[in-house]
Structure 1
């Protein structure tokens, strides 16, 4: 679990390598095109490796919950005390997400689509579902997805005269859908409408009209569904069943998730869109999360090949620390490297590769910080 978490956090930090710059420099290279694609989010529907970072992080929150609950129960913590801690953790995650999104702003940037904020908003409900039986949990999961989908469908789809340019979407954008899928079009759906009301309740430099990427506050509801999938995975891991049975369940859940999410998209019922975390996305990305967890579990726990994963464990055990480091001091590190060493060392392979080299050095510095913390048993937990 720590290795999987370290893998996704490394993918997040690796944005600093700027593969898109190299793709632009070598437009005919399939290698750089592949890396650039998987280091960026798809425009709307679909999925890249980069799109699996946030669902993986959310999924792993769910995986960890059964272990946390069991540990607290062993220590004699009553339900009320545990729930109070869950509420406190939720608040900290929400505030930390807002703080990190405000670091380069002129005033507090009240936005709630950040990964930490989304997890924080749904965490108390996840905690409550974690104290129910398996049947109730699956019923809750199904209701979350169905009610969220139905709410979008009941909200009026954009008409023929809808001014997409006013909400940052080109009128001829190829991702416009018709029929049921039109209810999930970018910046013209229920979640967008909610944010045009909700986000304007907070102090802002100018009124909120739309999110450029189409991200939305209400995505925390289906994100809860992703965390519930992780919760079930954590229960299987702690159930005492054989490793082969665990792998079988992970792989079966993965296949069901990917196929069902893809079918909802192909049949025109619900698109696979991460940016508004559609129910089809919950299933599709959740399937991939089960698959990735199965891979790490098979290699590390079943085959007991652990040494290779040590760097990932170092990162994964301090996921909050690396998340904050990337958001707070990446520019400071790069500026300091240029201040003390100049551009020369990073021009070894020419100016085209300069962002890649300085990004690699910056990643190395991040890792050394985390390694120092790991060896001194300094772990930032919320």
Structure 2
């Protein structure tokens, strides 16, 4: 725990030494969605089954479910938003360490330490409730850890170098999939939880029938496990960290832009224009047949589209929070955003315990006020409120969990 200095800058100011409030708000909004809606229940199916004839409720619920394969909704933006903000905040964090006199070697050592710790935290949290360590590396915390050292090495290299590296990553990752031989006709998709979503060229991006899946079949079986690893049921892969590093690089470029001495209005226009271009490129890649937008395998088109949406979101928040100074509405988000690691861990560690205690002491009736369709959602909101209160207690005492 530590007691950091203020993380916000005066309204409209371009102060390179301080992180902007909009970055904390963006991270906080992402964490608030997770805290309130991600545990302990999957609630969207109950809502959709309860209102089968309501297109509005059906559309609302779908925004909080990952798309089956191709496409993008709000819930698909949780991980890329968080990774984008990691990059944006890193621009300020690295500069602060440099001002304190930290050498490059010391900063690199800290980046390596942080990378390893994030990977292990992801494994630890993912293993909760299992009989043995779940050595897989596809969750957001481990993915950040896998790319973090590379992100640090790109810091202060200039946006042209950073953007060039991001473009090379996406082009190389596209080539890896596009040139990899398609599976033989007798490939057993069912045995690996795979699925044939596409024919023709896009078949290179079918579920669990591509090089990232085969890589995991080698890598993850190097770790001790009760039985051999066969496949990820959702189609997620360790190598997702490669294109998602590009997402963090987009955030780093945005953070360097906001940290600089340019005019605030010019910064805002640059964020919005860059976001529109990236989003347009991602959609163009999808509709032109270059590759589909698939979050679960982090295709280059998804990286561009999600990066564009992240840039647009940060630009909007920068305008509202930092330039206009409208901040009070964002306080609940800031509370969890400034303790994101603690909040994320609490979601995994105490969500079910919290719900059990609600039911034990208050009964199930408090969650059935609006009928059975909304019961799982109300339970999630109640658990999330408890986790938020813990983060608020920490916030009031200026206790922030840092790595």
Q: TM-score, normalised by structure 2?
A: 0.91
CA distance in 2, matches of 1:298, 1:320: 26
**Runs of 5+ consecutive residues of structure 1 not aligned to the other structure:** none
- Check conservation: 1:19, 1:35, Cα contact below 8 A: no
Q: Look up the match of 2:77.
A: 52
Q: Which has the higher contact order (CA 8 A, sep 6+)?
A: 2
CA distance in 2, matches of 1:73, 1:275: 36
Counterpart position of 2:294: 273
Aligned pair partner of 2:400 in 358, 379, 382: 379
Say which of 122, 126, 129 aligns to 2:154: 129
Q: Does 1:189 align with 2:214?
A: no
* Offset at residue 351 of structure 1 (A): 3.2
Deviates more, 1:123-132 or 1:7-16: 7-16
Selected match of 1:356 from 368, 377, 393: 377
Residue 211 (structure 1) aligned with residue 236 (structure 2): no
Are 2:356 and 1:331 equivalent residues in the alignment? Answer: no
Q: Does 1:15 align with 2:15?
A: no
Q: Work out whether 1:176 is the aligned partner of 2:198.
A: yes
Distance 1:177 1:374 in 2: 52
1:365 paired with 2:365, answer no
* Separation in 1, partners of 2:199, 2:179: 16
Deviation at 1:184, TM superposition (A): 1.4
CA distance in 1, matches of 2:51, 2:226: 40
1:3 paired to 2:25: yes
Query: Is the CA contact 2:122–2:140 (under 8 Å) kept in the aligned structure 1?
Result: yes
Distance 2:64 2:96 in 1: 37
Could you list the per-position Cα deviations for residues 331-371 of structure 1 after superposition, in whole angstroms to 9, with x for gaps in the alignment? 00000111111112223333333222222221211111111
Offset at residue 217 of structure 1 (A): 0.4
Cα distance in 1 for residues equivalent to 2:377 and 2:93: 39
Please point out which of 73, 86, 95 is paired with 2:111: 86
Cα deviation 1:42-82 (Å, max 9, x = unaligned): 01111010000000000011001111111111110000000
Bigger drift between 10-19 and 213-222 goes to 10-19
Specify the alignment match of 1:72 in structure 2.
Answer: 97
RMSD after superposition: 1.3
Is the 2:136–2:238 contact (alpha carbons within 8 Å) kept by the matching residues of 1? yes
Q: Which runs of 5+ in 2 are unaligned?
A: 1-22
Question: Are residue 110 (structure 1) and residue 135 (structure 2) matched?
Answer: yes
Query: Whole-Å Cα distance in 1 between the matches of residues 378 and 230 of structure 2?
Result: 39
Give, in angstroms, the shift of residue 176 of structure 1: 2.1
CA distance in 1, matches of 2:199, 2:74: 24
8 A contact 1:158–1:182 mirrored in 2:
no
Instruction: Determine the C-alpha separation between the residues in 2 that align with 1:374 and 1:367.
Output: 10
